[in-house]
Structure 1
Amino acid sequence: MSRNSILGVKGIKPNLFWFIISTYLILGFYVLIITYTTPFISIELNNKDGQWEVEQLAYKKWAKNNNVSIGDIILSVNGTPISDFPFIEYDSSIRGAHHISIKKNNGSVLDIDIRHLDIPQQFYMQFVFPLIYFCFIFLITIYLYFYKRNIQQIKLLILFIITVSLAYISSGASGRMNGIGLIVNSFCLLLCLVLLIHFLKNYFAFLKIKWIFTNNIYFLYVLPIFAIILRVIRLAYPKFASIDSLIILSIFFILLLIILVILFYSYLQYKLPQLKILFIGLVIPFLPFFLLFVLPEILFKKPILDAEICALFLLLIPINFIFLQLTERLFDIVYYVTRLRYNLTITLIFTFWILAGLYFLIGNSLSKEMVWIILFIFISILLFLYIKEKIDYHSRKIVISSKGDYIHKLYNTIEKIGKSYKTEDMIKTLIQEISFHFELSDISVSTYDFEKNQIIPTKYSLVSLEKFLDVSVVKQLSLGEIVKKRHIYIAFIHEDIRFKRVLLIGHRNTIRLKQEELLWLELLLTYINSFIENTNVIEELLQELKQLQKTERNEPAWLKKLLWLRIEDEKFQLAQELHDTILQDHLHIGRQTELLIHDTHEHTIQVKLSLLHKQMVNSLEVLRTYCETLKPPLLSKLGLYDALERLVQVTTERAIFKLTSTFDRLYLEDEQLNLVIYRLIQELLNNALKHSQAKTVTIHLKELDNGFKLIYSDDGIGCDFHKISQSGSLGIQGMQERVEAYNGKILIDSQVNKGVNIEIIIIERSEINDYSTYSG
């Protein structure tokens, strides 16, 4: 079963998506408009002798500014007498209002107009923040559909973040006892948990761990519908007001408890980090709402914190859910957990440090504003750590100094050392680079001889430091290790069977290498060790080949195998060509000759013999062409220029395209290059004959200083050379191998139906091509 089928990945149809978005927008705008048009004041009332007096005030500062106090009699709300409200007997509170009339104890009547900014806390918590979150979720949903529609469980992801968003933004309308707001809030509050259980079931199947809850979870989707029924009954029968909320919160409590048990039990069984991060990212944000609002409301009918404050933590759930899905870090999450724990530890330490400082400076009276300040400090420090990581990575990489970016310098130094082809040259460049970057002259490279048990200085050292070197320290030194002994730093460079090279840097008690410099040096020496290893292998190989040329002994087994495989490839190609051309012609001639033996008509025999003779001549011409391909006779007799002219003439006779060619006379010291040029042009023209379907073909051979340039172009059907190279085409592969064997460059530019352009450059006797420099 595929991964997608396990996770239930299905594309979301456009009609369904736009229906979901339209529903989200309509319901979202509606509940936000209800929240905006009615300020929230939350006054608890008590029926005393038929009059409704103020028992508890949620916003005491507003009440004090408007001379509202406990014991005042509420006369009307928004112009309607308080006794005419249908829910007042079962829900004795005023949630939202524009205008209230109250009667003071002295008998005076106050008319109070209420504006949102009179109570800024409720305006920000119930309208501004939900509006921002509403827009944010809308943009995220659009992004998911258009750019991430193929991610895992796209339907669940979109539905989940939308239901959490609606549950949050509808809390204001629900708190004002708006009917649609009540229904939307209750439905989405339960639906988001059901969707979370649905996701967990699919994800457990992907992890191939046992699902401890029922496999038939679709019955859970009845619970949000049941919440709608309860709210409708409440609206129709006000006496049901105190029961429906209790039932819905109890269902919420049970669903969340199921999720907690599933994750906690499964983590104890399997110890998977994926389950741990699910618990942290998806369940913990529910806990404040669960412990501080739901549970106290069920048990004591009095929450510890208001719903809009607890709901703020729920906003982390869809954000975490999106993060886990889009980055697929559910499958590789250890890094993020570790980094988060590290940053949180540092943040908590400095937050408590600042809190302790404020306590001693200000005193022990921590107001609500102080709590918000501490929260702001905590979030600011955490964000600062993450932003610092990004800045460090992009601008400084790993280390920095007053002289600039050490990592950038490391790249430059490695590039310089990489241009050396002998170990001695690498050591010399290493000393020069370290001296330049550290501004030191007390630098030396020493070699420890295991057989003689003594230190041998190199001739490239800037100063002799061997007198400070302890042999026992050199023996114990390992790769990547830098130690400081007395007046010198000792660093490992490379070790083989007999020798061990170490770097010595003197600091004379006045110059000490900083941590960034030591890290730069450690990384550089790691690269140097690899370079020397590879260089030694190449030097040994070239020395072996050079020795073979002198002694004329038999080639080593690996070289024989390589040559044999290459010869077999060439033989296979030639056999295939002969089978498809000359052999087929000869078989046809043989069959026709056999028929002539039994033919009695003299006139017919003459005609057929004439045709057979013509076919035989053509076949011989083809065979001669193959012989010239294998060993061009004109090349050795008349030279490259005449051989190329002959090749062009033969090609022109066979071609249907117009061929334009110019050849400079070349004077090359390496005679093998003449054969290379001939083979390259021969392969290009053969490809043009067989595959190009071109109308015009041009080929030019130009002389360069110590080399040549070969330019080919046609206006044929072109091709995708990347696919041809991957297919292992012997023609293209052979050209590339010939050019690379002489350290040349070949540039191929072609697209389907846009022709072919090829440029080949080979420089004779370049530094790269002079193999004597390798062996030292």
Structure 2
Amino acid sequence: MNHKLYKILLTFSLIGMQIWFLYVTFQHTFFGIQLQRNEQKEWRIKSFQNEALRSDLGLQIGDRIVYVDGKDPNENKIVRKWATIEQADSVTVARNGQELVIRLNEIVQPAFDYISLFGEIICLSISFMILWKIPHSKSARLLSLVFLMIGIIFMCIPPSARGDSLAKVLISDLVMILPLVFVHFLTLFFKEKSGISLPITYFRYVYSVMLLTFIGRCIYFTPLDTYEFYIVDYRCVVLFFLCGFVLNIGMLCYVFLKYRSENSSIQAIIKLVWFALFISTVPLALLSFFPILFRGAPIVKSLYTGYFVVLFPLSFTYMIVTKQLFDIHILLRRLIYTTLISMVPSTIIVLMIALIFSKQASIENLSLSFLFILTTISILLYVLEYFVTKLDYIMFPKKFYLQLALKKIARNLRTITSFRELKDIILVDIVNTLNVYGGAIVFQYPHSIETIGEGDLNLDEIEQYLRENRLDDSKYSIFVINQNEEYACYLVTARKKTNTLLSLEERQWLSLIISYLAVSLENIYLIRKLTSKLHELASQIPNEEAGQDVVWLRKSLFELQEQERYRIAADLHDTTMQDILLVRRRLISFIENNEDQQQVIQAIKHLDLVNESLRQSCFELNPHLLQNIGLVQTIQATLDLDIGLNEYETHFQVEGSLIIESLDMDIKKHIFRIFQELMHNAKKHSNASKVMLKLTAIENFMFLFYKDNGVGLDPHALAKDKRLRTIANSGFGLEQMKSRVLHLNGHLELLSDKGSGVELTIRIPIPTQEGSTYE
């Protein structure tokens, strides 16, 4: 309840003060005429807070104040208290024996200090945000109090400048106590974040001293002449603030020296505190308060240097709210380098100002200009990376789109597992991004070349260039991706459609693409090489107990093959065949509309042939009829489709079809694949005129007999030929059939001599009801 009452009272107090201060600010015009009383009790003009008004008012330093609003200046409470002329309509000055009457309100127009209002809004918002985010932390409450005090100081600046006593007293009190409250906050902060216990008993004594000074300032609310007291009090406030600043530094030095060997989190906190303290207090101390002590006037007004003070508690707000630290080394190094770089243009600009406005420019104005320009350029350089990143697509559109394409290609490269996938996934993007006529990726082996291309390219010509080692050609740009003893890989691009050379950005982009491709293509090559070796190993594993530990290898390879075949078949059916059917429908509509029917009919017949060929390819890849009509009927349907297309006669016999069809689907798939491989060899290599196939079930075995009257082969030479299966041409042939037979725990017998045809007998055990005889 007490906390709630405290918040209500604080809220109403802030609202009441804000209303009163706004009234004073808008009711009275700020003049900024500072006075000094000499030994003769005369009031003379000491300085002007706003030098721009000096010429407008026609006043000079040293002018004697005769009257303020027609009365003796000692009767004016603002002059008597604060040694300044505010809340006045006119002033009479004596100069060279003459008296001049200055109508202040007729010359100076009212103006509002938006800089102070902006600082007030920021600090009060942060204060309430901290209380709302972390209401139960003692250090957070003290940090909220620090921001509240700074916000009230900003609130008091406009009415204080106009001579309001309440604003003057609040500013003096809060500036004195602010460093002490911050030391108190640091003590609790270190204890909460790092477990560092620091003494806090002395705070009660210091707070007591502060309370006495606050009570003493009540004299400003009386009609007494407080000029002499105000001069001393003003310097005491500045001195107390600097002492509090030294106290902060001393405590940080103590923590650093005592805990410098502790864990890295404490060190990071101490470094952050040091950095934030330096950035926030040095401008106020060196440019405002120290000059006041030693020369009586600041180099830069505390209104401007006071903004830096907000940075110190703001850094702790970040740590308390987010519960994280940022790397101070990176931040500091970046800030130092941006400042050093900014000094060069800042110096040049200030020198140009000094040359152009040599009569009007003073050392003070040039110094302020240099600081302002240096700060502005440093901030711009510091945040340049952020804005360039956000506006990259506007400032550097070519680079932006190249980066997008690079990200897309890099993302797609992760999904590529085969060389052929590079065309649709990578080459299309490269050709479109570079706006070239075409592109190609080439694998060159010692005895063969494998090429994929996209766009308008002559692949035969490119292969000829590579065989002749012509890598520098005006027609094509050839980039080496990988090159070693086993293979070489190249990226080839045609000329740009704009008939211009590749720009520097495009070449840099290509170099990154090539570096990504080098890794991806090396992986693809290794995958293909490993797959080939695995199939070779699988075909050589004997069907004995010694080979049972690695029989899983055959099964995994066959399952991968079936999955890939199914994927390719589905892609062909869903894409190419559907496009063919769509074109066929359009051509039929042309016939119905009496177009050139003869040519359209020929095109339809050609599409039907292509469609039928694709259906056959899809069937070979994914024999769905196995589940619908069984193994025997599927083999017969396949042979029927080939009638008239092959140069040989085919005879197919079946015995024991019921037993054969009762086999497991996995066994039937393997038998069908063996049948496909046999027919493929008959078409491509046998040159036979007659082929005989027989599928029979005898006792506990199923037999597949194959015989042709073709050219035959030499089994011994075949076994020794290591080039049957290369990386560039990954066919499996006889070894693939042998691997499938061994996987089914079967036996393969080949009888052939060169010129006398081929006889092949495959025996596969039929699994019993108790369990399978194969794995």
TM-score (norm 1): 0.55
Q: Match of 2:599? A: none
Amino acid in the other structure paired with 2:451: K
Following superposition of structure 1 onto structure 2, how do residues 86-165 of structure 1 map, counting pairs within 5 Å? 93-105=83-95, 109-115=99-105, 118=108, 123=111, 127-146=113-132, 153-165=139-151
Is 1:514 the counterpart of 2:499? The answer is: no
**What are the superposed Cα offsets for residues 73-131 of structure 1, whole Å, 9 maximum, x if unpaired?**
42343555322357867x672242322432434766544343498278xx56xx33212
Name the counterpart of 2:216.
Answer: 230
2:171 corresponds in structure 1 to: 185
Residue 279 of structure 2 aligns to which amino acid in structure 1? I
Spell out the pairing of 1:687-766 with structure 2 (5 A cutoff).
none
Contact 1:152 1:325 in 2 (8 A): no
Q: Are 2:439 and 2:494, in contact at CA under 8 Å, matched by a contact in 1? A: no
Change in 2 beyond 3 A, CA 1:444/1:115: same
Task: Provide the secondary structure at the position in 2 that maps to 1:45.
Answer: strand
Which residue, 83, 105, 116 being the options, matches 2:74? 83
Output aligned runs, 1:418-429, within 5 Å.
Answer: 420-426=416-422
Q: How far, CA to CA, are the matches of 2:168 and 2:41 in structure 1?
A: 28
Which residue of the other structure, out of 389, 396, 402, is the alignment partner of 1:406? 402
Match of 1:280 in 2: 275
CA distance in 2 between counterparts of 1:17 and 1:134 reads: 18
Change in Cα spacing, 1:448 to 1:342, as seen in structure 2 (3 Å) is farther
**One-letter code of the match for 2:249?**
L
Match of 2:183 in 1: 197
Corresponding residue number in structure 1 for 2:548? 554
**Number of the residue aligned with 1:69:** 60
Residue 199 (structure 2) pairs with residue 214 (structure 1): yes
1:369, distance to aligned residue in structure 2 (A):
6.6
The 2-side partners of 1:558 and 1:325 are apart by 58
State how far apart, in whole Å, the 2-side matches of 1:521 and 1:375 are.
44
Task: State the partner residue of 1:393.
Answer: 389
Other-structure match for 1:526? 516
Between the aligned partners of 1:258 and 1:419, the Cα distance in structure 2 is 62
Gaps of 5+ in 2: 454-458, 557-626, 631-662, 667-775
Share of identical aligned residues, percent? 16
CA-to-partner distance for each residue in 1:263-302, whole Å, 9 max, x for gaps?
A: 4576684694544443333333322322233334344545
Following superposition, the deviation at residue 547 of structure 1 comes to 6.8
8 Å CA contact 1:28–1:134 kept in 2: the answer is no
Structure-1 separation of matches of 2:44 and 2:120: 37
Q: Is the 8 A contact 2:334 2:382 kept in 1?
A: no
| 1:642-653 correspondence to structure 2 within 5 Å | none
Question: Which of residues 427, 443, 451 in structure 2 aligns to 1:459?
Answer: 451
Matches within 5 A, 1:6-21: 16-21=6-11
Distance 1:179 1:489 in 2: 83
Q: Equivalents in 2 of 1:489, 1:361: separation in Å?
A: 57
The change in CA–CA distance for 1:426 and 1:286 in structure 2 (over 3 A counts) is same
Gaps of 5+ in 1: 1-11, 472-486, 563-635, 640-668, 673-776
Segment of structure 1 superposing worse, 371-380 or 351-360: 371-380
Structure 1 position 415, deviation (Å)? 5.5
Contact 1:28 1:169 in 2 (8 A): yes
Cα distance in 2 for residues equivalent to 1:27 and 1:328: 34
Output the aligned Cα RMSD.
5.2
Counterparts in 2 of 1:40 and 1:366: CA distance versus 1, 3 Å? closer
Instruction: Give me the whole-angstrom Cα distance separating, in 1, the residues matched to 2:189 and 2:506.
Output: 45
Q: Report how far residue 207 of structure 1 moved.
A: 6.2
Measure how far apart 1:405 and its partner are.
0.8
* Structure 1 CA distance for aligned equivalents of residues 19 and 551 of structure 2: 81
Tell whether the 8 Å contact from 1:40 to 1:95 is kept in structure 2 after alignment: yes
Q: Distance in 2 between matches of 1:16 and 1:557?
A: 81
Residue equivalent to 1:595: none
Give the structure 1 partner of residue 714 of structure 2. none
What CA deviation, in whole Å up to 9, does each residue of 1:665-712 have, x standing for no partner? xxxx9969xxxxxxxxxxxxxxxxxxxxxxxxxxxxxxxxxxxxxxxx
How far did 1:143 drift? 4.4
Task: Work out the number of aligned pairs and report it.
Answer: 531
Give the TM-score, by structure 2 length: 0.55
- Give the counterpart letter for 1:348 in structure 2: M
Please identify, of 57-66 and 531-540, the stretch whose mean Cα deviation from structure 2 is larger: 531-540
Classify 1:432/1:363 alpha carbon distance in 2 versus 1 (closer, same or farther; 3 Å).
Answer: same
CA shift for structure 1 position 261: 3.5
CA shift in 2, pair 1:55/1:507, >3 Å: same
Distance in 2 (alpha carbons) for counterparts of 1:316 and 1:80: 46
Q: Do 1:446 and 1:457's aligned partners in 2 also have CA atoms closer than 8 Å?
A: yes
* Structure 1 residues 241 and 352: alpha-carbon distance in aligned structure 2, compared to 1, 3 A threshold: closer
Quote how far apart the aligned CAs of 1:543 are.
Answer: 8.0
1:123-174, CA deviations, whole angstroms, 9 ceiling, x for partnerless residues?
56xx332123223334444444556768994323322211112223324444
Give the equivalent residue in structure 2 for 1:592: none
1:534-573 deviation digits (Å, cap 9, x = unpaired): 895699589859976996642559999x9xxxxxxxxxxx
Task: Supply the distance in 2 between the matched residues of 1:87 and 1:223 (Cα, whole angstroms).
Answer: 28
Contact 2:283 2:305 (C-alpha < 8 Å) held by counterparts: yes
Correspondences of 1:434-473 after superposition (within 5 Å): 434-439=430-435, 458-460=450-452, 463-464=462-463
Q: Distance in 2 between matches of 1:283 and 1:206?
A: 23
1:32–1:169 CA contact under 8 A, matched in 2: no
Q: 1:34 to 1:548 in 2, by over 3 A?
A: same
Could you tell me which amino acid in structure 2 is paired with residue 187 of structure 1?
D
